[in-house]
């Protein structure tokens, strides 16, 4: 081990990303988590109502994100993700019953838009130029102000894709993270946007392998450890005060604070952070998908938005779902199941066992006003950095953004540690 210990507070995906990167670099890592399990919003658990292990949210990873793929390779979770060799996205327009597939070509030159069989039905080649305005937009602009066309392509492609990525109504969302989504997915070519899904649960790909990796690298893991305060001396974090213990920080010790924004601002009142949030609703049905059902199906003109087909269940994700949270669960489940039955050809009655999972603060609202509140990873404490999908990293609040922020935090601490070591060596000479 080299340098002091690194205390990573928070075992969500950002914290696990930072902790495993630091362990790989030979650092002594201590991982703290307030809950009894790791993973945060990206984990699996057993649901007794269904008699199945489900995810607390349905997540999709795109193949082109370098930080995310590096994380999966590091911890050994890549094989737990399944997806097609080529980018194919299936859609169904619920009101009309029209089905189609979006099939981008592998390379960056988007020749696929010239072929009607590969693009959204009823759209024209010129319609696909709209994102060019988004890529050039000012960071204070909204998506709606630079993509005013609300035609067929907006309804059947741009809106559902951006809504899923931003978890905010796209018209009101900040142009910057929306542009990053377009640039890093369809703009990067089909090979970079192959949809990868953890068909046997998020924990099997992102959480369990990371915990095993940390164990192999002799990292300490402390669950049920809620951080109550951070004490500082001379511009450095000097003590971490948990509910049941206080941890003194050595001269070379460093900290990654990978907690939700509302927790971070309680611990560090001097930082800014997003303070407006959007919810996500997931519906799970304990029934096996029919043969030939796509792993992922986009639903247009429906309450349900994305239908995931797992080996033992069908699951639906609805973004920016705050409007649905006050509706009785039974009513929402019945409405969604009617759409799922239409999409899959399964009988509408009887409805299979179901579960509704609501996350009221799933992500921060991707509004221009909230983008300006996202802090950088650096803080006023020289040995403490931030990580999380809410920290400024150029991406919206996604798995990719969380993993990337953890990787950035680890890189910063490694740089600082190297500079400190070089300074000590120079002083000795």
Delimit the domains of the chain by residue range. Answer: 6-43+202-275+368-427, 89-193
CA gap 240, 208 in Å, rounded: 26
CA gap 78, 72 in Å, rounded: 5
Residues 6+ apart with CB under 8 A from 386: 256, 257, 258, 264, 271, 375, 376, 377, 378, 379, 405, 409
pLDDT of residue 429: 53
Cβ(32)–Cβ(15) below 8 Å: no
pLDDT of residue 426: 59
Which CATH architecture fits 6-43+202-275+368-427? 3-Layer(bba) Sandwich (3.50)
The closest alpha carbon to 320, from 134, 171, 138, 196, belongs to: 171
Q: Which two tokens stand for residue 302?
A: 């429906």
Helical H segments across 47-173, by residue range: 66-75, 131-135, 143-146, 152-153, 159-166
pTM, 2 dp: 0.94
The segments of the chain whose pLDDT lies below 50 read 1
Residues 6+ apart with CB under 8 A from 124: none
Q: Which two tokens stand for residue 168?
A: 């905010």
Residues 6+ apart with CB under 8 A from 272: 265, 373, 374, 375
Strands (E), 1-42: 5-9, 28-33
Strands (E), 267-415: 277-285, 296-300, 306-310, 313-318, 354-364, 384-386
CA gap 276, 356 in Å, rounded: 23
How does DSSP classify residue 285? E
Cβ(38)–Cβ(18) below 8 Å: no
CA gap 336, 281 in Å, rounded: 11
Distance of alpha carbon 147 from the chain centroid: 25
Alpha-carbon Rg for the chain in angstroms:
22
Cα–Cα distance list, 386 to 44, 231, 406, 426 (Å): 25, 16, 8, 29
pLDDT of residue 221: 97
Q: Which two tokens stand for residue 148?
A: 């005013």
pLDDT of residue 424: 53
Burial class for 353, CB neighbours closer than 10 Å (0-12, 13-18, 19+): middle
């Amino acid at each position: 081990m080299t340098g002091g210990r690194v205390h990573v507070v928070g075992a969500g995906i950002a914290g696990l990303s930072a902790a495993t990167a630091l362990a790989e670099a030979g650092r002594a890592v201590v991982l703290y988590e307030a809950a009894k399990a790791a993973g945060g919003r990206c984990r699996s658990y057993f649901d007794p109502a269904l008699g199945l292990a489900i995810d607390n949210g349905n997540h999709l990873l795109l193949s082109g994100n370098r930080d995310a793929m590096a994380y999966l390779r590091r911890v050994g979770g890549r094989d737990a993700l399944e997806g097609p060799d080529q980018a194919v996205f299936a859609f169904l327009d619920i009101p009309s019953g029209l089905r189609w597939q979006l099939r981008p070509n592998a390379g960056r030159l988007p020749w696929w838009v010239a072929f009607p069989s590969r693009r959204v039905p009823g759209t024209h080649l010129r319609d696909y130029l709209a994102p060019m305005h988004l890529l050039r937009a000012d960071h204070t602009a909204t998506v709606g102000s630079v993509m005013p066309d609300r035609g067929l392509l907006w309804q059947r492609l741009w809106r559902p894709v951006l809504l899923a990525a931003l978890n905010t109504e796209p018209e009101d969302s900040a142009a910057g993270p929306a542009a990053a989504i377009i640039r890093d997915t369809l703009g990067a070519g089909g090979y970079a946007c192959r949809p990868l899904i953890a068909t046997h649960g998020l924990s099997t790909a992102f959480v369990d392998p990371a915990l095993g990796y940390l164990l192999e690298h002799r990292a300490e893991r402390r669950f049920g450890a809620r951080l109550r305060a951070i004490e500082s001396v001379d511009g450095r974090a000097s003590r971490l005060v948990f509910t049941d213990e206080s941890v003194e920080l050595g001269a070379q010790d460093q900290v990654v604070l990978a907690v939700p924004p509302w927790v971070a601002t309680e611990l560090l009142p001097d930082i800014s952070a997003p303070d407006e949030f959007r919810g996500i609703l997931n519906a799970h049905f304990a029934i096996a998908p029919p043969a030939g059902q796509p792993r992922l199906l986009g639903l247009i003109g429906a309450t349900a938005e994305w239908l995931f087909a797992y080996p033992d269940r069908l699951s639906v994700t609805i973004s920016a779902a705050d409007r649905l949270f006050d509706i009785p669960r039974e009513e929402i489940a019945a409405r969604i199941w009617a759409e799922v039955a239409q999409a899959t050809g399964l009988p509408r009655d009887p409805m299979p066992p179901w579960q509704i999972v609501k996350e009221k603060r799933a992500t921060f609202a991707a509004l221009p006003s909230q983008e300006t509140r996202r802090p950088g990873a650096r803080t006023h404490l020289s040995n403490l950095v931030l990580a999380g999908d809410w920290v400024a990293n150029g991406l919206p609040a996604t798995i990719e953004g969380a993993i990337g922020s953890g990787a950035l935090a680890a890189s910063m601490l490694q740089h600082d540690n190297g500079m400190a070591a070089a300074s000590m060596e120079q002083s000795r000479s």
